[in-house]
Structure 1
Amino acid sequence: MSKRSIKITLSALLMTAATMTATAPANATSPKGPLTDVRIATHFDLSAGQMPENIALLPDGTANITFAASRQVAQVTPQGKTRILATLPAPADGGVNTPILGFPLATGIAHTSDGTVYVLYATGTADLTGLWRLRHGKAPRRIAALPANGLPNGLALDGKGERLYITDSVLGTVWTVPVTGGTPTAWSTAPELASTGFLGANGAKVHGGALWVTNLDRGTLLRIPVRPGNRAGTPQVKASGLVGIDDFAFTGRGDEILAALNAPNTVVRIKPDGTSTTVLDTGDGLQNPTSVALRGDDVYVLSAAYTTATDPNLLRAHLRKHP
């Protein structure tokens, strides 16, 4: 599939998804709020398929990211320079059977303290779909196979750095697998994870004894307690009415969150009581934001330009200590 076809397909699907989800938060306010020094740090090449999907930060502020349409894993330095780390192998059929989207894409990313990078890859084929591992100086290797009829999307590492959680946006499932790889276990198939026709369970983070997951179609933020023996508890809806919610990050202030809303082109701040306010929008340079990360008070936001088809980028900002 050509890059132009990918953009057309994504635009049509995401615009359809926006009409299926809830309306924008009624309590949204004008942008800025707690964020200062907002700027575009890096521009990416849309014509090369550099649509940034997910981000994981290193201690020095370097960002490991996935480029969805080019099947690549890249690194962006604190100075804004981009370097390609790896390109995942293309499926023999071009990925035409990838659920919903019809093209192969690199999605979630995480890393452990030893520098190992983990990436999710959806291709619609049994030989490539799954969890991939990247180690310095070695070719990417798939270490866990996932169903070809699913769309692995969000990736979260547990607090001990021993286990990964994977959301499947099509199958409405959270999988879990050790960082060493192996056969994934269906950790949760709760109905709250299911889609309503496009993409369900999406972003994922481990925080406060629970796995937190977004559902793009339903516009919800869920908290799933991690019970003894790594059993999944009953999902709790912590926030709702969030059109197109994608990935997110905790700010370090309890359960407060910054979340990317893809189709509405906004980033919102979600308070522990579930209320939300807009803190970034298109005026700040957002182009279908996909993910958020924080290192201390430094905020990173990726925009993939899926429907805008203009200027995929990495935005940076500073979170004020007392907004």
Structure 2
Amino acid sequence: MKNKIMRAVLAAAAASLSLGTVATATPAGAATEPVSRAHIVAHFDLAKGQSPENALVEPNGSVDMTFATARQVARVDRHGATHILATLPAPSDGGVHTPGVGYALTAGLARTPDGALYVLYATGTKDLTGLWRLKPGHKTPERIAALPANGLPNGLAFDPRSNAFYITDSVLGTVWSVPAHGGHATAWSTAPELAAHGFVGANGARVHNNALWVANLDQGTVVRIPIGNDHRAGRPTVKATGLQGIDDFAFTGRGNEILAALNQPNKVVRIKDDGKNTTVLNASDGLQNPTSVAVHSKDVYVPSAAYATATDPNLLHARLVRHGH
């Protein structure tokens, strides 16, 4: 168990079968609107470093995720079985110089329409820190963009409109932009709203309605940064505050409504367009320091890393309740 907490940051076409349809439900917990029927669909091995950090849903309903301290990308299939897709190379020093954490961190995860997976890797070394790509059917990932070794790349979002990745750096308070094919990373935004205040700043990231939305853990905020027609960053706007321990998040498909994972408080909250939040999932539903949220049609998946609880890293499934739809 590591002595510090780290985490980072969608959906594709509707699947004919999802994890939620084959798993056995645990006793009812505290799930409230807009989610229901929360239950754990997969458990992971903490001793093997299987603390899930970021997740996305494949078109067939399986869930891909990064294992933060195992340096791995994994997939939980529709029957709840876990498969290791790839393991990133270990730094020669074990990652002891990785800023903020002191170990090699596998964080943000994204998928492009061709099925390739992209993962952020922070090691504190120049040769490995950066954005990595895993092509479909391959087991050996390749680095396609280097990122500063003195930073902590964490949240990852792909924008088809600008054909680029946006990457949050939790230590340097920066959003980097990298072309879809890889290459040079450009500092896209260094706004004060991204800065860390003692530990981790810019964290989870999502592209939504021509803007990049970023969670800031230290500041407890969600920030919206417009993506201009020239793909430049617009003026940031703080859309929600008071979100202690916010990690990564997802939009539900109803306007700007968000489901966000609050790591240390051990809950998932619903954030409405006016910025107000309410708890929809907590420990009684099985959460163990949730790190991110993935929404796929009416399915909600929440990976828990058990960074602080050190008990049961897992993947939770719930259903979206869409009243009036």
| Global fold match (TM > 0.5) | yes
Maintained 8 Å contact 2:73/2:85: yes
Report the CA distance between 1:137 and its aligned residue: 2.4
Cα separation, 2, equivalents of 1:45 and 1:178: 35
Distance 1:242 1:117 in 2: 29
Q: Indicate the residue corresponding to 1:57 in structure 2.
A: 57
Q: Tell me the distance in 1 between the aligned counterparts of 2:234 and 2:68.
A: 31
Mapped contact 2:266–2:290 kept (Cα < 8 A) = yes
Within the alignment, does 1:122 sit opposite 2:122 as a pair? yes
Query: In the alignment, which residue of structure 1 is the partner of 2:106?
Result: 106
Structure 1 residues 188-235: Cα deviation after superposition (integer angstroms, max 9, x where no partner): 000110000100000000001100000000000000001121110111
Shift of 1:144: 0.2
**Counterpart in the other structure of 2:226:** 225
Distance in structure 2 (CA, Å) of the matches to 1:33 and 1:56:
22
Alpha carbons 2:216, 2:246 under 8 Å: kept: yes
Match of 2:209 in 1: 208
- The equivalent residue for 1:79 is 79
Which residue of structure 2 lines up, in the alignment, with residue 10 of structure 1? 4
CA distance in 1, matches of 2:35, 2:227: 32
Instruction: Give the drift of 1:138.
Output: 4.9
**Residue-by-residue CA offset, 1:161-202 (whole Å, 9 max, x unaligned):** 821000000000000111110010100000110000100000
With structure 2 as the length reference, what TM-score do the two structures score? Answer: 0.90
Between Structure 1 and Structure 2, the one with more helix by share is: 1
Amino acid at match of 1:269: R
| Aligned-partner Cα distance in 1 for 2:201–2:36 | 32
Q: How far apart in 1 are the matches of 2:140 and 2:132?
A: 10
SS in 2 for 1:47: helix
Aligned to 1:254: 255
Whole-angstrom distance in 1 between the partners of 2:161 and 2:84: 28
Count, aligned residues: 301
Secondary structure in structure 1 of the residue aligned to 2:291? strand
Q: Distance in 2 between matches of 1:298 and 1:160?
A: 25
Aligned to 2:68: 68
SS in 2 for 1:10: coil
**Among the aligned pairs, what percent are the same residue?**
64
Determine the C-alpha separation between the residues in 1 that align with 2:82 and 2:201.
Answer: 31
Structure 2 residue 313 is the aligned partner of structure 1 residue 312: yes
1:47 corresponds in structure 2 to: 47
How big is the shift at 1:32?
1.9
Structure 1 contact 53–291 (Cα < 8 Å) conserved: yes
- In structure 1, what residue type is equivalent to 2:160? G
Q: How big is the shift at 1:152? A: 0.1
Q: What letter matches 2:163 in structure 1?
A: E
Kindly state the Cα deviation for residue 62 of structure 1 after the two structures are TM-superposed: 1.0
Deviation at 1:10, TM superposition (A): 1.9
1:270 and 2:299 aligned: no
What CA deviation, in whole Å up to 9, does each residue of 1:82-101 have, x standing for no partner? Answer: 10001100000110000011
Gaps of 5+ in 1: 15-29
Contact 1:159 1:206 in 2 (8 A): no
| Partner SS state of residue 228, structure 1 | coil
Q: 1:242 to 1:250 in 2, by over 3 A?
A: same
1:153 equivalenced with 2:147 (yes/no): no
Contact 2:249 2:261 in 1 (8 A): yes
- Could you say what secondary structure the match of 2:4 adopts? helix
- Asked whether the 8 Å contact 1:112–1:161 carries over to 2, the reply is no
5+ long unaligned stretches in structure 2: 8-29
Which letter maps to 1:170? V
CA contact 2:87–2:140 (8 Å) conserved in 1: no
Contact 2:31–2:37, Cα closer than 8 Å, also in 1: no
Residue identity opposite 2:231 in structure 1: N
